[in-house]
Structure 1
Amino acid sequence: MESQYALGILGLGVMGRSLAKNFQRNGYTPIGFDLNPKLPPDFGVKVVTSLAELTAALTPPRTLFLMVPAGAPVDAAIASLKPHLQEGDLIIDGGNSYFADTERRVKELTAEGLNFIGMGVSGGESGALWGPSMMPGGSPASWPLVKAMFEAISAKAEDSQPCVAWMGPGGAGHYVKMVHNGIEYGDMQLIAEIYDLLHRGAGISNLELAEIFASWNMHELRSG
């Protein structure tokens, strides 16, 4: 019998919880797991206490979405999951992993018959809840398994197109997210320097600067 759950989410911090609610609202019921769950009473998503229970609740090919810190925690989560998986199952890393680590994981898991996606997720807590921009890459066979689901939960552009697209094989998704983050940090530095010049150089008060920045944010300089 087919499971009522579309995917399992490992890691129910701020981002994991918000994504879980987004999936559920869009008709893809998730089931969650966290080593140390601290969940609000109104979370509304089923949470289990073991990986065996989590994977047993899903119909193969299973989709397991990791929202855990980059680095060793991702490898630990994958190692803990593998005994409960079978050929064709899919693991998705939605954290800010280094693209070379994603390249390695794709190769290792492909050799074991598992699919793997490394995916950048942009938009923070609000984006995760109401529609993030996503940058998936990894095992080419993986994308058709989840394309419709991720298009449903994604942000939508002004022409109503989903803000998610396949970036390519290996670590392509996390590479694009790295570039995205670099651009964002550059923008943040520019804003800080503009503030400093206007405040210390031109003597404009913080209250006036707040109004100036707010007015800039209403037009072509607006940040989503």
Structure 2
Amino acid sequence: MEIGLVGLGKMGGNMRERMRRAGLTVVGYDRDASLSDVGSLAELVAALGTDGGPKVVWVMVPHGEPTRATVTELGELLGEGDVVVDGGNSRWTDDEIHAALLAEKGIGYVDCGVSGGVWGLENGYALMYGGSAEDVAKVQFAFDALRPEGEFGAVHAGRVGAGHFSKMVHNGIEYAVMQSYAEGWELLEKADLVDNVTEVFRSWREGTVIRSWLLDLMVNALDADPGLASIKGYASDSGEGRWTVEAAIDNAVPVPAITAALFARFVSRQDDSPAMKAIAAMRNQFGGHAVQIEPPAGGDANPDA
């Protein structure tokens, strides 16, 4: 079986290797010529089809315009009965647009949410895919090669868009779980009561109801950098958290934990929160509560506080 793979970064490169280890023929293309097997998308498509089956091209590029441009070009290169898989972190609303574009030429479309990160090469990737049963069947050989061993780890979530929507919600949950671990760690460190916070976290890895792979990774991080002293308290977001909150609003579903976790990331990007300045000022006005001020050159802040 053979497949084309567009985008050979940290995820795509490892996915190529995992599929090759499973015996698949993978033709990869990347703008970085040092990673690429061919020189263009046209060469990639031309190299497929030697097994007599439909051509399948899996796209692993950044969401938005890079994915849109790639899908559009593939629509000009592939033929009736072929299939494009978008395995990036596209917004589910883009999937219907891409599917309709390709359908005009008889090309199938499957969207696939992929989870597993840099560990997926060895452990397998959790896959959530959407599309018609006919199109999914054409890609099943790749899903089988990429998924983890065992009963779970892959699901045909529904129609086009269902895969990316499921992955979006998965990532929203991830935001909230990580925020909970982070807040718990900060409280344990701040209380000056627990002798070894890292060992407390480590103990939770067995037998507790909050054990998880994210907890394992948190312990790994604390082992590598006790107190996380070398890391700046800044967390970006890649889009799925925002989309989860927006979808919740559209469907009138309350998601306070996920929303709070997303907003906490926004707060992390402020060296000095303007909102907190306003709150401190109001507390001072109504209750005479002390406010922290910037110290004068060579002096101390709030010398009389």
- After TM superposition, the score normalised by the length of structure 2 is 0.65
Measured on the aligned residues, the alpha-carbon RMSD in Å equals 1.8
Partner deviation per Cα, 1:117-160 (whole Å, 9 max, x = no partner): 1110001011145301000102432111122331232113xxx2
Q: Distance in 2 between matches of 1:170 and 1:146?
A: 14
Q: Distance in 1 between matches of 2:145 and 2:67?
A: 25
Partner of 2:205: 217
Partner of 1:42: none
Code of the aligned partner of 1:122: S
Q: Distance in 2 between matches of 1:12 and 1:148?
A: 20
Partner of 2:109: 116
Are 1:166 and 2:156 matched, yes or no? Answer: yes
Partner of 1:23: 19
SS in 2 for 1:69: coil
Over the matched positions of the two proteins, sequence identity in percent amounts to: 39
What are the equivalent positions in structure 2 for 1:29-178 lying under 5 Å apart? 29-39=25-35, 47-59=37-49, 60-156=53-149, 160-178=150-168
- Higher radius of gyration, 1 or 2: 2
Q: Distance in 2 between matches of 1:188 and 1:110?
A: 39
- After TM superposition, the score normalised by the length of structure 1 is 0.87
Which structure is higher in RCO with an 8 Å CA cutoff and minimum separation 6?
Answer: 1
Q: Distance in 1 between matches of 2:192 and 2:97?
A: 51
Contact 1:10/1:32 (CA < 8 Å) preserved in 2?
Answer: yes
In structure 2, do the counterparts of structure 1 residues 36 and 152 end up closer, same or farther at CA, with 3 Å as the change threshold? closer
Q: Matched residue pairs, number?
A: 209
- My pick for the range that moved more, 123-132 or 213-222, is 213-222
Partner of 2:286: none
In structure 1, the gaps of 5 or more residues are: 40-45
SS in 1 for 2:120: helix
Contact 1:55/1:85 (CA < 8 Å) preserved in 2?
Answer: yes
Which of 190, 201, 205 is residue 191 of structure 2 equivalent to? 201
Contact 2:55/2:83 (CA < 8 Å) preserved in 1?
Answer: yes
Q: Distance in 2 between matches of 1:91 and 1:20?
A: 16
| Aligned-residue offset at 1:219 | 3.6
Contact 1:33/1:54 (CA < 8 Å) preserved in 2?
Answer: yes
| Aligned-residue offset at 1:23 | 0.2
Partner of 1:192: 182
Q: Distance in 1 between matches of 2:109 and 2:4?
A: 14
Code of the aligned partner of 1:101: D
Code of the aligned partner of 1:183: I
Contact 2:33/2:39 (CA < 8 Å) preserved in 1?
Answer: no
| Aligned-residue offset at 1:81 | 1.8
Partner deviation per Cα, 1:145-195 (whole Å, 9 max, x = no partner): 122331232113xxx214112111120000000110011111000001101
| Aligned-residue offset at 1:38 | 4.5
Code of the aligned partner of 2:13: R
